[in-house]
Each structure stands twice: as C-alpha cells, then as structure tokens.
C-alpha cells in the first residue's frame, strides 16, 4: 500500500506531513507513490490566504475522476483549512468523495480514522483544541540534512488579519527535555541542521526555561550542526536572545523578524504591539551585537485603510532595516478575523501595484547583498542535486542558496564554495 501527501502552507505543515507519513508507515503503508497509484491521498491544507485555499480546493476537485476509477482509494483532508469553522461541512458538500476529514489537533488519530472508515461511509473528526503538547506521532523525515523540531504549537497573539490562532488553538510549549532528547537523537542520526519551529518561538516557556534558555541548551548539544529557528515575533525579541545567538557559532546569524508593515498606525490596527520605532530598535540591537548577521521579514500590503503614504513607510522600512530578503503578501481577508470586518478594504488593483513596487525594493536589497559574496568563500551545507542545473545545491548560514558542481555525492556534507556569480538569492561557484 502506498500513500501520496500533498502539503500546503508553512514549515509547520511540511513537518506535520512528515508525521502523517510516519503514521501511515506505522499501519502498513510502505512508501510514496504518485496520486494515480496511491492507496491513500492526504491533503494537508493551509488557509492563511485565500489563494492557499483555492489551490487546495482545485486540487481536491481534480480527483473526482480518479476516485471514480479507483473506488478503493482513500481521500483524506486535514490541516488548517479542514480545521476552519464551517469548512469541513463545505468540503463534504462540494466533494462527496472525500472519505476522511481531520483537524490540526488530532493528526495522530489518522490511523484510527482510517480504521473507522472501513465501517463508516465517511469519517469527520475535529477537536476544538488539544491538551497535550506532544503530537504522538513519529515523523518520517524527508528533509535531510535538515530536521524540523516543534517547540510550540498554536498562537495567542491574534494579529487582526491572521487566522492561525483560530485554526491552531492556544499556544502550548513542549517540554524542554523532550525537545533536547529529540535534537540529540537527530544529531546522533546524522542530521546537520536543526530548525526549531513555533508561530512565535520567543514566547516559548517550560517552567523556568524561556526561549533564550532553551536555545542555549539546544546549541550546547554535542556535534557539528547548524541551528535555526522561526518565527520570532518582534515584540518578544530580546537582548537575552541576541546574547545566546552571539554565544554559539552553531546558531545561524540569520534572523527572520516579520515586520508586516512599516507604519505605526497600521501596526496598531494589526494588533502587532510594536511601533515602527520599536521595530527599528530591535533591528539596531541585532545589528550592533551581530554585525555580520542578516535579517529577513514578512510584509503585508493593502491592509484595510492603508494609505499610499503608509505603504511608503513599508517601502522605506525595507531600506532602513536593510532586509536581505522578504516574503511579501497582499492582505487577504479571512472570515472570522477582526480585520475582515474592518471598513476601508483596499481594492485589489491598488494592492497589486503596491506589492510590485515592494518586490522591486526587496529584490534590489537582495541583489546588492548577494553581489558582495562574489569572490568570497562560504560554507554550504549540501542539500540536494538539481537535475536541471546539473549541480549540487545547499544553503550558506545566512540562507542563500549555493550551486556548485561536484564529482561525488556530497548531500549532507559541509563544503567550502568559492562564489563566482550571484543571481538574486542564488550564488554559483566551485568547491575549494
Ligand atoms: N507566526 C508567524 C507567521 C505565520 S503566517 C509570525 O507571526 O510571524 C506567515 C505570514 O503570512 C505572516 O507573517 C503574514 O505576513 C502573512 N499573513 C498572515 N495572514 C495573512 C493574511 N490574512 N493576508 C495576507 N498575509 C497574511
Ligand atoms: Fe498569526 Fe500573528 Fe500568531 Fe503570527 S503571531 S501566527 S501572524 S496571529
Ligand atoms: Fe501554516 Fe497555513 Fe496553517 S501558514 S499554520 S499551514 S494556515
């Protein structure tokens, strides 16, 4: 029996799909297969923006014929969209051929739901929240040499545009001991990069252990590996965290610090709980303590009532904070969030024009910063072989992708690459 998992959304979902794969392997599925040949197709969905949902709807709908042809195959839909208020009912109505729907709080239940499906016509199982901080599922990892490790689940911040707190529940921290145990096991198994995951890692807490303390302990695990974490909410980004980053070479000096907007008025409407000035103070703190570090960010354009001038403040923030890259989004109203009910929604044409200008500014930063790498030697952790380019690829500590030829398979190895050419976030070179 084979499975096929389709993943939408963030790293958390990517890792959750690894857990789903682990669960399926635990009940006799032996490996992956293309959708046409799979015995179960699992959609791990996202609902952060409307296009993420449309994408999933389109892909699920496209299975109608296949399902008619292969009656025995199972179709399961989980993830954030399945967890969204009213969506399970809509999914069932639109796509009667779906067999199983599960949510974000009961992933580990999937094997039991598959069992139930043998007796029931359709199985829908959603929990409001969860009490436990463990998923109860062993991941079948596919991201070697990187390994994702959850440290928190859920979110309490309720940024007014965001649906995550509604579909992922209240914030919960895993026990520090469990996290350390997992990291030690992964490093011993040969993983070379550990990425700690949480919607807001900075609010991690287990007894006396806060995030800087946890990071310090994880970075003290023996062995050569890189340590990354995401995401940091600027309101909780502290000098204690910078001190730990400075203390350990293992921790990559790349900080992803989502600003969302450069306008204090918009930030306040977003309920981000920092001003432009406070954000820039955190940036200054990071630059002062870690001068060779890099910052990346997330930015939203077209939040309700955003004026041309306020958008201009986001543009100028990109310059001032000197981000090396950024994820840029057009604001997408999410049913049930505060911002969706606000007056002054921005027409799409306006948002599109704004995001184009923003992307241009971000690309300008990326180009300028990448070009400085030409002639330098960087350490790349080889991740994969790019068939099209005929080259190996991997990341340098600050997140740029390095491409290089190599006569032997070096996936999972740290290599030294001399940069000969830069193109956006991609660097090309040869091994030294
Ligand atoms: N917890 C993380 C981000 C999770 S969502 C954090 O707080 O940084 C990833 C990004 O999606 C957010 O940073 C935000 O920029 C974007 N996003 C979230 N909701 C959105 C919406 N309704 N419309 C557009 N972008 C959104
Ligand atoms: Fe969403 Fe804000 Fe929570 Fe991030 S911190 S997941 S943007 S509510
Ligand atoms: Fe992630 Fe999308 Fe859910 S961004 S937390 S998968 S809504």
pLDDT at 85: 94
> What pLDDT is stored for residue 154 in this prediction?
96
153 & 231 share domain: yes
pLDDT tops 90 at residue 53: yes
Per-residue pLDDT, 136: 83
CATH at 388: 2.40.50.140
Q: Is the pLDDT of residue 133 over 90?
A: no
CATH number for position 215: 3.30.750.210
Please check the confidence at residue 354 and state whether its pLDDT lies above 90. Answer: yes
Note whether 165 and 232 are same-domain residues: yes
- The string of DSSP codes covering 392-419 is EEEE-TTS-EEEE--SS--TT-EEEEEE
- The answer to whether residues 392 and 346 belong to one domain is no
Residue 408 C-alpha from the chain's centroid:
31
Question: What local confidence, expressed as pLDDT, does residue 131 receive?
Answer: 80
Among the listed residues 332, 322, 324, 275, the one whose alpha carbon sits nearest the alpha carbon of residue 302: 332
Domain membership of residue 298 (yes or no) is yes
Query: Which numbered ligand comes closest to the C-alpha of 258?
Result: 1
Q: What percent of the chain stands above pLDDT 70? A: 100
Do 266 and 234 fall into the same domain?
Answer: no
Indicate if 105 and 122 belong to the same structural domain: yes
Final residue of a domain: which of 319, 343, 370?
Answer: 370
Examine residue 114 and state whether it is found in any structural domain, yes or no.
yes
Q: Are residues 55 and 156 in the same domain?
A: no
pLDDT tens for 95-110 read 999 999 999 999 999 9
| Mean pLDDT over the full length of the chain | 97
Which ligand approaches the C-alpha of residue 270 most closely? Answer: 2
pLDDT score recorded for residue 240: 97
User: Does one domain contain both 222 and 273?
Assistant: no
Residues 283 and 332 in one domain: yes
For residue 192, is it within any domain?
A: yes
Residues 361 and 393 in one domain: no
Q: Can you give the CATH number for the domain in which 307 is found?
A: 3.30.750.200
| Domain membership flag for residue 132 | no
Nearest CA to ligand 1 atom 4: 199
This prediction has a pTM of 0.96
Is 168's C-beta closer than 6 angstroms to any atom of ligand 3?
yes
Check whether residue 201 and residue 148 sit in a common domain: yes
Domain presence at residue 135: no
Q: How many CA atoms lie within 13 A of 359 on its CB side?
A: 11
133 occurs within a structural domain? no
Instruction: Yes or no: say if 123 and 101 are a contact pair by the CB < 8 Å rule.
Output: yes
Identify whether 222 is part of a domain. Answer: yes
For 207, the domain range is: 143-252
| Residue keyed to tokens 């600050």 | 398
The residue out of 229, 252, 275 marking a domain boundary is: 252
Q: Calculate what percentage of the chain has a pLDDT beyond 90.
A: 97
Helix (H) or strand (E) holding 318: helix 308-321
Q: Which ligand is nearest to the CA of 79?
A: 3
Mutate to test the pocket of ligand 2, among 52, 155, 163, 204 (most ligand atoms within 8 A of CB): 155
Candidate from 157, 317, 329 with most ligand 1 atoms within 8 A of CB, to mutate: 329
If asked whether residues 175 and 229 sit together in one domain, one would say: yes
Query: Among the three residues 126, 161, 193, which one is the final residue of a domain in this structure?
Result: 126
pLDDT at site 180? 98
Domain count, the chain: 4
Nearest to 191 by CA among 250, 146, 142: 146
Q: Residue 71: pLDDT above 90?
A: no
Ligand 3 center to residue 387 CA distance, Å? 30
Q: Residue 413 Cα, ligand 3 centroid: separation in angstroms?
A: 31
**Is 131 inside any structural domain?**
no
Q: For residue 130, is pLDDT > 90?
A: no
- Tell me, yes or no, whether 203 and 269 share the same domain: no
Which ligand 2 atom is the nearest neighbour of the CA of 168?
Answer: 6
């Amino acid at each position: 029996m084979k499975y096929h998992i389709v993943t939408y959304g963030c790293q958390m979902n990517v890792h959750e799909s690894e857990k789903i794969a682990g669960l399926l392997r635990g009940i006799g599925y032996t490996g992956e297969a293309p959708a046409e040949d799979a015995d179960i197709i699992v959609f791990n969905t996202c609902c952060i923006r409307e296009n993420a949902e449309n994408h999933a709807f389109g892909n699920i709908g496209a299975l109608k014929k296949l399902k008619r042809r292969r009656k025995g195959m199972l179709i399961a839909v989980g993830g954030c969209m399945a967890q969204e208020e009213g969506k399970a009912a809509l999914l069932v109505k639109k796509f009667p051929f779906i067999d199983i729907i599960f949510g974000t709080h009961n992933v580990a239940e999937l094997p039991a739901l598959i069992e139930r499906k043998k007796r029931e016509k359709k199985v829908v199982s959603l929990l409001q929240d969860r009490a436990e901080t463990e998923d109860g599922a062993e991941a079948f990892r596919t991201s070697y040499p990187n390994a994702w490790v959850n440290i928190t689940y859920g979110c309490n911040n309720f940024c007014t545009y965001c649906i995550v707190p509604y579909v992922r529940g209240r914030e919960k921290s895993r026990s520090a001991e469990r996290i350390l145990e997992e990291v030690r096991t992964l490093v011993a198994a040969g993983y070379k990069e550990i990425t700690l995951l949480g919607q807001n890692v900075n609010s991690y807490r287990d007894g006396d252990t806060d995030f800087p303390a946890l990071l310090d302990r994880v970075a003290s695990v023996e062995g050569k590996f890189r340590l990354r974490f995401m995401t940091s909410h600027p309101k909780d980004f502290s000098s204690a965290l910078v001190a730990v980053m400075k203390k350990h070479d293992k921790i990559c000096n790349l900080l992803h610090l989502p600003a969302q907007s450069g306008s204090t008025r918009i930030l306040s409407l977003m309920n981000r709980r920092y001003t432009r000035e406070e954000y820039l103070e955190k940036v200054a703190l990071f630059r002062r303590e870690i001068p060779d570090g890099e910052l990346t960010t997330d930015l939203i354009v077209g939040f309700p009532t955003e004026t041309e001038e306020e958008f201009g403040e986001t543009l100028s923030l990109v310059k001032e904070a000197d981000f090396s890259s950024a994820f840029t989004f057009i604001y997408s109203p999410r049913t049930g969030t505060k911002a969706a009910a606000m007056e002054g929604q921005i027409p799409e044409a306006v948002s599109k024009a704004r995001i184009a200008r923003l992307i241009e500014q971000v690309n300008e930063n990326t180009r300028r910063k990448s070009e400085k790498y030409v002639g330098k030697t960087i350490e790349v952790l080889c991740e994969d072989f790019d068939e099209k380019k005929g080259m190996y690829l991997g990341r340098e500590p600050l997140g740029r992708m390095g491409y290089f030829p190599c006569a032997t398979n070096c996936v999972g190895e740290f290599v030294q690459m001399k940069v000969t050419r830069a193109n956006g976030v991609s660097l090309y070179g040869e091994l030294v």
